[in-house]
Structure 1
């Protein structure tokens, strides 16, 4: 049991708990040989390729200045998995990442290809940070510190195992939740729901903390789904649908999916995203987790193209599941 730390949250009655961490409902193992194979093939094939018309034009075409004065329940896409949500009078930010790299160090690792639609200094007052898991492109220490400094009363809602790291970053109000648990903050119900993924920030901490998606419900009955990172699991999404469908607004991952032989256990592709949209009976959705960082082998401009194709193939009406510009917003249906 060398290097294994006992899980302080362990509950043997819960299938996703293990004595030393957490697992998926349908357990998967990422083998080191597969990681090496992917890295070698990526290097040999010079992947990912740049966007068709280059990085600069791509960044210009997929950006607009956000208008935070717009009223009503609303979603703004800031960048990657960072969303700003207004639900009733509660302002929520998901997986805030504003740094130039998503890496343990500032001089190496995936670098930002497009800038966030707004800086932390430009954000309106934030009430709640929602985190899906601890990977560097979702939990960014610098961004959390800056948010804690600007909004001292902010509350963080996180999956099990992330409280200690956030306390060290200056967050005083933290709620940890297991799958299927919930908390009410400013009259919004935050429900932690399963995701098919994993966690790790160091060499020996794999799956020590939990990962999840989120359902946020208003007192008016509106529901918003934030997928975080997830692979596809029919069992899991049917369970979420049984509890929460229909969903009024969803932000579903559509990027970091190639090659499928390696990524399928951890990230969905656009075709699966549309399948999830239909399983959850979503009224409307946007695609997230693309366009900012080159985390997999597809080009930055491929996910919206494949999403449009998948929507047409699965006969979704135009505009129901969209790729929007960073900085753009959508009304959350009541």
Structure 2
């Protein structure tokens, strides 16, 4: 019952954000292909879906596999472009001798409060004290599972620069980050630090953290380019033609980090299904893909392992190189080692009937 309450809190929060119309249209940002709105009928459908949901595995029944990240491991990989999944959409990237971190959410819950809301499935693979000095932190948008106040405040002293979509900087300033450490970018704008270049690219989503700020800040995907490596980070997005345009203008990519989780037919315009995530990778002209936005928080109505299983099946059908490292495991961008479908161990331990329907 408590878990269902958490889900209801999540969908009510999403519904408030979708239905909110307190800001005038001239003050809002917009998607390129859809004007995403949810009327009261759709909100009622969402609430009903959460109330009726019957899932066998909303969260893992056993601890997830996890590899601790030590200073020694970081040092040993410093000469190679490497990525580490820290959980959800938080990715630590080693590139050109620098460290970049995406969407840091290190709190126990993806929620405006820490006594209620979706709770993480696993501990962090490294302590915040062991995090290296960060050249940049990139934020995709201001939803609570991507922009975490406590994490920003804790990390501030270790971060040289925050790069965010237009309007998101004011959140950071409210939390104590100085204005000179923040760069805001609109879609297709770029910012360089040393040999690293960061370009904000379109996504199909929405923004807002409260009752009156729906779409008052921009959302974005990101292209992260070093001397000889190009990485795409999707943030959150529905599937849209923008992926093909990004691939044509800024691809190909050595690695794509693509949202694969928290999807549902009721909000498919703003969250891709796994099969669409794999197609987005192909549109982007990616060489290898890491599915992100899964295996950390329960934010939708699918079983926790379904995003990875469906992405794996779609990737096999499309001939896509899919990398599914356990949380904390290093992935060499130049020469990634094959990864295992580690979630299938959980399926074999009593949940095979769930996978049969995928």
- The answer (yes or no) to whether the contact 2:101–2:134 under 8 Å persists in 1 is yes
**Aligned mates of 1:187, 1:144 — CA distance in 2:** 24
Once the two structures are overlaid, the 10-residue window that deviates more, 189-198 or 103-112, is 103-112
Q: Is 1:166 the counterpart of 2:172 in the alignment?
A: yes
Structure 1, unaligned runs of 5 or more: 7-17
C-alpha distance in 1, partners of 2:122/2:91?
Answer: 15
8 Å CA contact retained: 1:256, 1:263? no
- Is 1:287–1:324's contact at 8 Å kept on the other side of the alignment? no
- What's the CA shift for 1:5? 4.6
Given that 2:244 and 2:280 are in contact with CA atoms closer than 8 Å, whether structure 1 keeps it comes out as no
- The equivalent residue for 1:14 is none
The CA deviation at 1:222 is 1.6
Structure with more of its chain in helix, by fraction: 2
Q: TM-score, normalised by structure 2?
A: 0.82
Alignment partner for residue 242 of structure 1, among 248, 268, 277? Answer: 248
Question: 1:107 and 1:176 mapped to 2: Cα distance?
Answer: 32
Q: Is this contact kept in 1: 2:58–2:302, CA < 8 A? A: no
2:232 corresponds to 1:228 = no
* 1:249-264 aligned within 5 A: 249-257=255-263, 259-260=264-265, 262-264=266-268
Shift of 1:214: 0.3
Deviation at 1:159, TM superposition (A): 0.1
Residue 282 of structure 2 aligns to a residue whose secondary structure is helix
Once the two structures are superposed, the pairs formed by residues 53-68 of structure 1 within 5 Å of their partners are 54-57=60-63, 59=64, 61=65, 63-66=66-69, 67-68=73-74
**174, 185, 192: which one pairs with 2:193?**
185
1:271 pairs, out of 275, 292, 295, with 275
Structure 1 pair 115–29 and aligned structure 2 pair: CA distance change class (3 A): same
Residues in 2 aligned to 1:177 and 1:50: alpha-carbon distance in whole angstroms:
37
Q: Is the 8 A contact 2:167 2:216 kept in 1?
A: yes
- Residue segments in structure 2 that go unaligned for 5+ positions in a row: 1-19, 336-358
User: How far apart in 1 are the matches of 2:32 and 2:22?
Assistant: 21
Residues 187-246 of structure 1 show CA distances to partners (whole Å, capped at 9, x for unaligned) of 21100000000001000110000000000111x232110000000002x11211121121
Contact 1:28 1:265 in 2 (8 A): yes
* Secondary structure, aligned partner of 1:22: coil
Which residue matches 2:149?
A: 141
Aligned 8 A contact 2:29 2:218 in 1: yes
Q: Distance in 2 between matches of 1:31 and 1:324?
A: 39
- 1:327 to 2:328 alignment: yes
Calculate the aligned-residue CA RMSD, in Å: 1.8
Aligned residue among 204, 210, 213 for 1:205: 213
- The question of 1:307 aligning with 2:311 is answered yes
1:78 aligns with 2:86: yes
Scaled by the length of structure 1, what TM-score is found?
0.87
C-alpha distance in structure 2 between counterparts of 1:32 and 1:117, whole Å: 41
**2:213 is paired with a residue of what secondary structure?**
coil
How far off is 1:4 after superposition? 4.5
